[in-house]
Amino acid sequence: MSSIKEVAKMANVSIATVSHVINGTRFVADDTKARVKQAMTALKYYPNSVAQSLRSKKSKLVALIVPNIWNPFFSELTYYIEDELNSEQYKLLLCNSERKPEKEIYYLDMLRQDKVAGILGITYNEIDNSVSDEIPMISIDRHFSKKITCVTSDNFEGGRMALRELVKAGVKKPAFIGNVTAVFSETMKRRAGFVHEAELMGIDYVVYERPDPIRDYETYYKDFFELHSNVDGVFAITDMLAAQYIERASKLGIHVPKDVKVIGYDGIQDHHYFHPVLSTIRQPVEEMARTAVRLLFRKIEGHTLEQETYQLPVIFRQGETT
Amino acid sequence: MSSIKEVAKMANVSIATVSHVINGTRFVADDTKARVKQAMTALKYYPNSVAQSLRSKKSKLVALIVPNIWNPFFSELTYYIEDELNSEQYKLLLCNSERKPEKEIYYLDMLRQDKVAGILGITYNEIDNSVSDEIPMISIDRHFSKKITCVTSDNFEGGRMALRELVKAGVKKPAFIGNVTAVFSETMKRRAGFVHEAELMGIDYVVYERPDPIRDYETYYKDFFELHSNVDGVFAITDMLAAQYIERASKLGIHVPKDVKVIGYDGIQDHHYFHPVLSTIRQPVEEMARTAVRLLFRKIEGHTLEQETYQLPVIFRQGETT
């Protein structure tokens, strides 16, 4: 089958114009329309039926629930989600949940009323009772319920990788620092991978956690430095926590990476203008975003997905902190 | 008049439930509904009429067009816009325009078809021909057309402030570095304020600009360093450009702030974990966001706004680069 590109070339119009003719999404002059249709016939071009079926659905809205769009990890994710939705002429409804269950539930109501076609979500709340496993919803990064398909990075492998990289950098006593959510979260696997690998390698390690959300970072770090003054390596559950640790440590005369090596998780820095450039386990944000949207489209079309969790591989990105 | 809070208290329900009863936005059990209505009658509570008129409009969607949500300035702005819209139960449609006119025009079409109630936009394109001055649209930061009300920071005063702060820090030969958009943009006033103040104070200065968007930063900086090796102060049109300059300069052995003092514009850094912490002209992002939404609501209600531009004051925030 020929492509939309060839049709556009033959009709001497842009790909967007061909798309508008096919979907009736915008006014196209009659002679242009005729030229596009001639080219489609000549080239035996048939618009993708899956895409067509998606386009014929009533609502062209997908809601994205993020805790806070201001966070660079979420804004990067949102950027790619909007781009992928746009390829099928879907529009993005953005909701900052602030971790409030009522805001999340509000969007589930919209979904029930067919005001949105589907939901992509990073939720922190136990909303199991409100959802059935049939609704078109994909969770990203945080797996809050077994009923909802989740797209995530390989958190366990990321944790193992972080431990190995710390040891490789000469660390003898590594610590994991993080926070524990009340409900199960995929991010907990970062610690699990770290611990697993340390046990495997016979390395003495520390796990330091406090309940999420952490409101008093002063106490959080004070306790850590008091309890674990002998660590020479830190794997922080997020880049932000890693950056925070480094700042606090430097005030106590602990220098990174000289005294303590540090690895974060996420990969929020997309340029090298601000320092330190963190050594980090980089999530494949673009791939996670596009995969989540593609899976959501399949659910909107009524398909059942094969897997409960789609895990995408992470990489270690060397920065200035190991 | 009594408040919704009192109604909620008397009916022994949450404020959200009272709101749902008033607006029919969610299912509420009959006996609860009756209790709320009794309380409303007893307390002589009448829902705010402006809010009601907003709520009775067909579309509860507002589109926000940003060049790229990934940019921290836009993600902060989006955060507050969503929050302000949410206070009137409006939902945010997010569009990354990537500065492409066709994406911007697509949303204007949606507006014409009443699929969205209004548009908040940061556009970079000349779309004058597509818009009338009656449409509910508010431009933020970039004023691209006299027909559209614009909410902006006081760019001119920001430019003056930057020049004064550089001089105060001992700079003898300050440079403004930036880019020039094809159409008039409010951001050009940053340069104008800088130049105005330098002339006023009798300071020798440099203006270095290249057409927007800048694709080849290698050449941009190479030319700047060749042409203007004698500057000892830089006012960059954005924080990102300031951070970039500092990185490039350090590779040439030019140290900030020792050799050159640097001031940016925006105030994108909301914490001190990454360095350098830029000295910058901070835009009142939250106030800009909330003002833009409030003005848009007035336009949606059919009011004519008094001003063409709403300028909000900026402040100088001392960082590590001056």
**If you write DSSP's letter for every residue of B236-263 in order, what string do you get?**
ESSHHHHHHHHHHHHHTT--TTTT-EEE
Give the lowest-confidence range in A152-166, B143-157, B254-268, B303-317: B143-157
The chain B residue lying nearest A285, using CA atoms, is: B70
State ipTM: 0.78
Give the nearest chain A residue to B20 (CA atoms). Answer: A106
- Taking residues A123-147, what's their average pLDDT? 69
Q: pLDDT tens-digit profile of A250-288? A: 999 999 999 999 999 999 998 899 999 999 999 999 999
Interface contact flag, B94 A95, Cβ < 8 Å:
no
Rounded Cα–Cα distance for residues A321 and A263 (Å): 7
> A92–B93: do the CB atoms touch at under 8 Å?
yes
Nearest chain A alpha carbon to B84: A96
Q: What pLDDT does A49 receive?
A: 43
Q: What is the pLDDT of residue B185?
A: 77
- Chain B hits for A272, CB-CB cut-off 8 Å, are 247
B272 touches chain A (CB under 8 A): yes
The answer to whether A76 contacts B70, with C-beta atoms less than 8 Å apart, is yes
For residue range A16-48, list pLDDT tens digits in order: 888 888 776 777 888 888 888 888 878 877 665
With 0-12 / 13-18 / 19 or more C-beta atoms within 10 angstroms meaning exposed / middle / buried, residue B232 is: middle
* A220 contacts: CB under 8 Å, gap ≥ 6: A210, A214
Question: Chain B contact for A272, CB < 8 A?
Answer: yes
Establish if A4 touches chain B: CB-CB under 8 angstroms: no
Chain-centre distance of CA A148, in angstroms? 15
Cβ contacts of A273 on chain B, cutoff 8 Å: 240, 243-244, 246-247
Enter the tokens of residue B7.
Answer: 């109604």
Is pLDDT at A52 greater than 90 in this prediction?
A: no
Residue range(s) in chain B whose domain bears CATH number 3.40.50.2300? 58-153+285-314, 155-282
Rounded to 5°, the CA angle B228-B233-B238 comes to 95
> From the CB of residue A31, how many other CB atoms can be counted at a distance below 10 Å?
8
Q: What's domain B155-282's superfamily in CATH? A: Response regulator (3.40.50.2300)
Q: How far is A254 from chain B (nearest CA, A)?
A: 15
Separation CA A102–CA B28 (nearest Å): 15
The lowest-confidence range among A32-41, A313-322, B43-52, B258-267 is: B43-52
Q: CATH 3.30.360.10: does it fit domain B58-153+285-314?
A: no
Mean pLDDT, residues B149-175: 97
To the nearest whole Å, the CA of A118 is away from the closest chain B CA by 14
Closest CB to A273: pick one of B71, B244, B272: B244
How far off is chain A from B276, nearest CA to CA, in Å? 6
For helices A285-300 and A72-86, the axis angle rounded to 10 degrees is: 50
CA distances from B6 to B10, B36, B40, B52 (A): 6, 11, 9, 19
Check if the beta carbon of residue A75 is closer than 8 Å to that of residue A285: no
pLDDT digits (tens, 9 = 90+) for B105-158: 777 777 777 778 899 987 666 655 556 666 788 988 876 666 788 999 999 999
* pTM, to two decimals: 0.80
- Looking at per-residue pLDDT, the higher value among B287 and B20 belongs to B287
Average pLDDT of chain A is 87
pLDDT band at A133 (very low <50, low <70, confident <90, very high): low
Put simply, the answer to whether B96 touches A83 (Cβ < 8 Å) is yes
Q: Where does CATH 3.40.50.2300 sit in chain A?
A: 58-153+285-314, 155-283
pLDDT at A146 over 80: no
- A297: pLDDT confidence band, cut at 50, 70 and 90? very high
Spell out which residues of chain B touch residue A116, defining contact as CB-CB under 8 Å: none
Judge whether A320 is closer than 8 Å to chain B, CB to CB.
no
Q: What is the CATH number that goes with domain A155-283? A: 3.40.50.2300
Asked whether residue B302 carries a pLDDT value surpassing 90, the answer given is: no
What's the pLDDT tens digit per position in B3-36? 788 888 888 888 888 888 877 677 788 888 888 8
